[in-house]
Chains A and B, each alone.
Chain A
Amino acid sequence: MRTTLVLIFLLLPVLALAQDWEDRRVFGNPEAETQLRIISSTDTSLFAPVIERYLGDNTDLSVEYLVTGTSDIYTIFRENPEAFDVVISSAMDLQIKIANDGFARPLSNVSHPEWAQWRSSLFAFTSEPAAIVINRAAFAGQAIPGTRQELIEALRARPEMFRGRVGTYDVRQSGLGYLFATQDARASETYWRLMEVMGALDVRLYCCSGDMIDDLSDGTIAVAYNVLGSYATARVDSRETLQIILPSDFPTTMMRTAMVSRAAPHPERADAFVRHLIALQSSADGGVLPLPPIDAQVNDPDGATIVLEPALMTFLDALTRKKFLAEWEDAVIQK
């Protein structure tokens, strides 16, 4: 509860616009009696094919797809769990906490790998690595960094080139950014050194991957760290200008998760939709869809993928979060 209050307080500016969704689209027959409400952090364009396929078989249904940030989803959904049927988010830690606190409805007999679900109520359906995305123009004639260490060296080598032109998530605002940051910090000290270097270059902080990619495409920034590679790949228009680098020192891979609200207005429909989503993303032809499917090969022994476990809630503890944010601010915001 306290955590919630702290989060609400932290996210107050965003919350004021809570009802102004980043995107809101109704799929299917708008006259349909039953309307499935999905709250999601995934861009509509990326998720639309999943919904359209589902509606193809369920013509008596319409789907209202609401897009907002991961932290917003956490607060909005917890306040009104009865207003939504399905919750989809990339912030695995917040999703786990929602499920842990009893807001998720368990589904029975879903054939899904053990590592890709939690309590039969939270289901992972994508496997998306965090990437370093660069604007090719800024690295013309230069070596392309393959690891965080090489990125640090590249940034240090040409500070005049990168000042004000590096970007990353504002972990105070973005749930996914916070997840990536905490997992990176767990994995290696290199993360803190990178943050210090980026902080010294007046790093630009973003709420979302989409905005970062926009700024990368038009050259506002030259390097973005911890961007969702899948978003960048999906931008057909910027394939020429952008290069996606999956850091080879230690990759961080996030799994997008879905759950049915315990207070869902249409639990059976929501149940069926989540099953459809899982089946679609697990099938061999998952590549047809813009979102990368979960892939057993990606979940290799490297430990690249963030494990879907209650330990994710560690950094959501108010004291631990406070301490982490203080360190992060020390590194990034150098005044």
Chain B
Amino acid sequence: MFDKDALGKIKTAKDKWEKEILDGALGKEKERKDVFTSISGEPIERLYTPLDVSDLDYNEQLGYPGQFPFTRGVQPTMYRGRFWTMRQYAGFGSARESNARYRYLLEQGQTGLSVAFDLPTQAGYDSDHPLSMGEVGKVGVAVDCIGDMRVLFDKIPLDKVTTSMTINAPATVLLAMYLAIADEQGISYEKLGGTVQNDILKEITVRGQYIYPPRPSMKLTVDLIEYCFKNVPRWNSISISGYHIREAGSTAAQEAAFTIADGIAYVQACVERGLDVDKFAPRLSFFFNAFTNVVEEVAKFRAARRVWARIMKERFGAKDPRSLMLRFHVQTGGVTLTAQQPLNNIIRVTLQAYAAALGGCQSLHTNSYDEALCLPTEQAVTVALRTQQIVAEESGATDSIDPLAGSYMVEALTDKIEKQVFDYLEKIDNMGGTLKAIEKNYIQKEIQQSSYRFQKEIENNERVYVGINKYTMEEAPPANLLKVDMKVGQAEAEKLRKMRAARDKKRWEKALENLRKVSEKNENVMSAVIEAVKAEATIGEICDVWREIYGEYKPKQSF
């Protein structure tokens, strides 16, 4: 951006400033620390100047919003056109209770639904399975069969909302139920909008809700992607997730790197299935975290967009601009919340939401301040939603596109994260790709190492965490926490028993038999799954068919 002559003058002036002004100031008073680092442990300079971005080529590296390499945003008008989708992740107890929370959130101005499923549903077990004990309806809603899905979306027209479902290993089953409900509501698949997470690789590395080994899991993932692009064209068939990688302790650069590495593995698998990259790539979406260090987060989002665009273009030869766009959802950082002085979390979430807005997210979930204590209460959920409404409507972050661009620091960090991401990708390529790197525990160990470093920094008081190692105080135990009734489990099990007794046995048997045949022949399973859920097969029964064929995943632990 600067010619040699101008840079020379800037350098001369900087040297002069250091000698005449800075040295004197440092002589009088030392800085607070010898080395300043970001929350990711990255060294941060005292001052960024044009000298730190001397190689920056504006058209090449930044360009314009809606244009390659999309550093400045994926849409030409960004939030001047419309705000991001405000999408609060919610769901607990029975389908009936969750349906009430969804309708409340829609009335409060939320624009999209985000369904949290309980752990048995996420792990493909029915509510009456022994491992489901105590977990039914706890961290999300319990969905065993199409009847639950019908109640969950009662009086919510599926063509008027977009629905994001956090479901991975059994994503095919939950999407099949959603499609079956659309059939019941008389809505054609072309009109459905939404997302399934469907990202099994991060379940294996960090999130833990896996069922099958990596390779058959990838097969199911690609089945869903293939089916959607043929039949449910507006559906985001995967949400490639860095959120949980960050939650597990990674740095910002690792979050971007390992997410993009997962993305590469999915694109590669789809290409190997014979899909045309420009047909499915526009429906890929991403999901990132946002921590409190605003500038580092903004740099991460911008770098991730630029890296993805280059990879899709250069490695996969994508031509459609939509294939090159990294569109992403953000959730504010769950692990950044403290149980101590929980109201402070509102401020953390505000900064994180602000970072997401400045970084150009397409949708956003803001965490509730009480989440380090319990599942969020309605009051806390409302404050969280209002937080993003204030960022959108009052902060000014939405008036101009990519407002931090051109900041010497933001551009320097964007370049640095981009380089770190490409370095990781090269290492992973050299190992034989993402699946190999996961099988070797490489990605998991890198994340654990960062998590360890961070913990040590806090415990050695090298990094301040308000309310944890500084500004602590005695507090009364928090009151009014949300409780999920243990009886939900019994009620769900009872409902299941009745449903199993009443369903059409012949139709059910035939549907599961067909699913088995299709799966054994290695064909796309989606149509057979839709038939099975319509025949009232449960999630556990469907997942068991594949447990028998594929086996179950058991990770090796290594430290």
A and B form one complex? no
Binding site for B on A (CB under 8 A): none
